Amino acid sequence: MKKIFLILSIISLTVVTHSCERDITSLNEDPKHPTVVPSGLLVASAQQELISQLLTANVNNNISRFFTQQWAQTTYIDESNYDMVTRPIPRNHYNRMMASSSATVHSPGVLSALRDAKTFLQNENISAVQKNNNIAIIELISVYTWANLVDTYGDVPYFGTLKAVPDNPGASEIPYDDAKTIYMDLIKRIDDANAMINTSELGYSADLYYQGNMSKWQKMANSLKFKLAVTISDVEPALAKTYAEAAYNAGLFVDKADNFGLAAFPSGLFANPVYQELIQSGRNDFIPSDILVNYMNSTSDPRRGRWFTKVNNQYVGGVYGAQNPFFSYSHMTSTKTDDFGEDSGYRLITENSQGYLLDFTEITFLRAEAAARGFSVGGTAASLYADAIKASMTEYGIADTAANAFITANPFNASNWKQSIGFQAWVAMFNKGFQAWNFARRLDQPMFDNPADSSVDGVPVRMKYSDQEYLLNKDNVTAAAQKIGGDQVTTKVFWDVF
């Protein structure tokens, strides 16, 4: 933990702070005399920005929890009605994950930090083995980030992007690449990165997630490949089977200790981002939705006592898409005095709560799905369904006896496996917005109703392109929108075929 604090202190002084949104792409503003920054600090900066953006509940940046209708709002309900224009959410997510296409518009992009890290790494005096390990780390974080961009928008600028420099403003006009082609290249990049890993030496000591443990990174590579393989199951079933089985045989996550992310956030500016928005802000903007709570009530889900408070001895979710008086409904358990959960004062949201971007629970649900599709991944769909639920229960401290009773009462339905896995994965991915969204879109379970006051024609299955792209990269983004069938939130990404 002390190492994390040291790294973040150096980052805040030398590279980027989230509050002022200084862009690390400015490191390239003098291509003849670039500022030299240790590449490990840039990697740590990218990891910080990635996990902060994907986990935050800030409605300016990430409303994925509303795409799966797990959270509801209290006073301000624009975002739960899918207004992404008043607050330019697609722009903000795109810029934080990648960086603006423009050389002159600055943003703290994850991928631009990794690009610069790879450049500076080439001249660092370390062993060839460690250099390869570090390149593999950069590549695997990059692939994870690119996959999120494709899953979010569909076609995006890929092969020609991240090349903009101040003396070449023409580089802001970057063609959009086919999403499926990008996915195939990402899987190849995972294999190439995995081949570079040597577990006999460490990678970056500044690595916030695994502290340079290359055995952990190897499992992450296999698990990420497995996730991408299962994701394309409906559009490329044969390839998906081949890739998924290869990844499984190479070794996936086996328990929580393998998870990709942070077992505990540090404090201060880098506290858990959900804690920052729900507790530290002093605001009362979010509550669990009736859609989620009612379903969990119907199955007597023991995780309710770990996640929610009670109202008049009942779990009560707020009406999705409507205004909800905060104190009339259950709350997510927090450090507030009155917000004790029923289960031994458990806290879901604390300053140091865990935050994972890819975890054992998600991978086990993906294995259950893969088995249901006929892939050979070390178990039957029914057994892996039970394992996945138990993994989620364990993640939140539910005893095995309670988990087993829940599984018995809610058995796997082989004739409607998408419903069984879809609903339980949706619950298990609570507070993991993008992960839950991918399951719901691919399995079409649960199916959500568009709120009565929605700003769009349907519950989003993608985000629209950044409005900034229509100013800086107009011809290319317009062509991309036409190719995918229209720049609408109801236009499906390539793997979402049903």
Least confident segment among 50-54, 78-82, 278-282, 292-296: 278-282
Residue 320 belongs to a domain: no
Mean per-residue pLDDT, 266-282:
93
The CA distances from residue 183 to 146, 227, 493, in Å, are 9, 11, 12
Using CA atoms, how far residue 307 sits from 167, 355, 400, 452, 457, in Å, is 52, 15, 18, 28, 32
Q: Is residue 112 part of a domain?
A: yes
Same domain as 363, residue 259 = no
Query: For the chain, how many structural domains are there in total?
Result: 2
Q: What is the pLDDT of residue 454?
A: 98
> Percentage of the chain surpassing pLDDT 70?
89
Residues 373 and 250 in one domain: no
B/e letters for 190-217, b = 16+ CB within 10 Å, e = fewer, are: beebbebbbeebbbbebbbbbebebebb
Q: What is the pLDDT of residue 196?
A: 98
Domain check: are 245 and 367 in the same one?
A: no
| 266-280 average pLDDT score | 93
Give Cβ neighbours of residue 357 (< 8 Å, ≥ 6 apart): 50, 51, 54, 55, 144, 260, 261
Query: Tell me: the pLDDT tens digits for 213-237?
Result: 999 999 999 999 999 999 999 999 9
pTM of the model: 0.93
Query: Domain check: are 191 and 237 in the same one?
Result: yes
CATH of the domain at 402: 1.20.120.840
Domain of residue 21, CATH code: 1.25.40.390
Residue 498 lies in a domain: no
CA distances to 7, 47, 141, 282, 304 from 266, rounded to whole Å, are 11, 14, 21, 20, 26
Asked if residue 169 has pLDDT above 60, the reply is: no
- Same domain as 376, residue 231: no
- Pairwise CA distance, residues 46 & 18, whole Å: 11
Query: Is a pLDDT exceeding 90 seen at residue 480?
Result: yes
Whether 373 and 241 share a structural domain: no
Please give the distance of CA 65 from its chain centroid, rounded to a whole number. Answer: 11
6, pLDDT greater than 60: no
| Contact call for residues 333 and 308 (beta carbons, < 8 A) | yes
Encode pLDDT of 409-438 as tens digits. Answer: 999 999 999 999 999 999 999 999 999 999
18 touches 52 (CB < 8 A) = yes
On whether residue 185 sits in a domain, the answer given is yes
Q: Radius of gyration of the chain from Cα atoms?
A: 22
pLDDT confidence of residue 147 = 98
377 and 256 share one domain: no
What is the 8-class DSSP label of residue 165?
Answer: B
Same domain, 168 and 244: yes
Residues 437 and 477 in one domain: no
**Whole-number pLDDT of residue 426:** 98
The strand pairing partners of 471, in sequence order, are: none
- Give CA–CA dist 146/154, Å, rounded: 11
**What mean pLDDT value characterizes the chain?**
90
Q: Could you tell me the residue range of the domain that residue 105 belongs to?
A: 2-30+37-64+88-263+459-484
Query: What secondary structure does DSSP assign to 259-275, as a single string?
Result: -EEESS--SGGGS-HHH
Q: Across residues 30-44, what is the average pLDDT?
A: 74
For position 67, what pLDDT does the model report?
Answer: 98
What is the chain's percent helix, strand, coil content, to nearest 5? 50, 5, 45
Q: 213 and 96, same structural domain? A: yes
Task: Grade residue 173 by pLDDT with cuts at 50, 70 and 90.
Answer: confident
Task: Please tell me the predicted confidence (pLDDT) of residue 342.
Answer: 76
Q: For residue 405, give the amino acid letter.
A: A
pLDDT value, residue 168: 54
Cα separation, 447 vs 68, in Å, equals: 9
Percentage of the chain exceeding pLDDT 90: 83
Residue 274 lies in a domain: no
CA distances from 272 to 226, 266, 342 (A): 27, 8, 23
Residue 411 domain-assigned (yes or no): yes
| Residues 170 and 242 reside in one and the same domain | yes
How many CA atoms within 13 Å lie on the side-chain side of 290? 12
In tens, the pLDDT along 352-384 reads 999 999 999 999 999 999 999 999 999 999 999
Dump pLDDT digits (tens) for 296-352.
999 999 999 999 999 999 999 999 999 999 999 999 998 776 777 777 678 899 999
Give the model confidence (pLDDT) of 82-125 as tens digits: 999 999 999 999 999 987 544 334 446 899 899 989 999 999 99
What does the pLDDT read at residue 25?
A: 36
What confidence category does residue 164 fall into, taking pLDDT thresholds of 50, 70 and 90? low
Q: 107 vs 30, 168, 411, 482, CA distance in Å? A: 18, 18, 47, 27
Flag whether pLDDT at 198 surpasses 90: yes
Coil, helix or strand for 168? strand
- Contact by Cβ (8 Å): 65, 320: no
Are residues 146 and 10 part of one domain?
yes
Helices (H) and strands (E) in the chain, counts: 19, 4
Tokens coding 352: 């140091």
Over 170-207, what HEC string results? HHHCCCCECHHHHHHHHHHHHHHHHHHCCCCCCCCCCC
Does 489 fall in a domain? no
**What is residue 334's predicted lDDT score, i.e. its pLDDT?**
86
Reference 409, options 427, 389, 394, 432; nearest CA is: 389
Give the pLDDT of residue 35: 64
Residue 340: the pLDDT is 73
Is 81 contained in some domain? no
Q: What are phi and psi of 262, to 5 degrees?
A: -120, 125
Is the pLDDT reported for residue 269 higher than 90? no
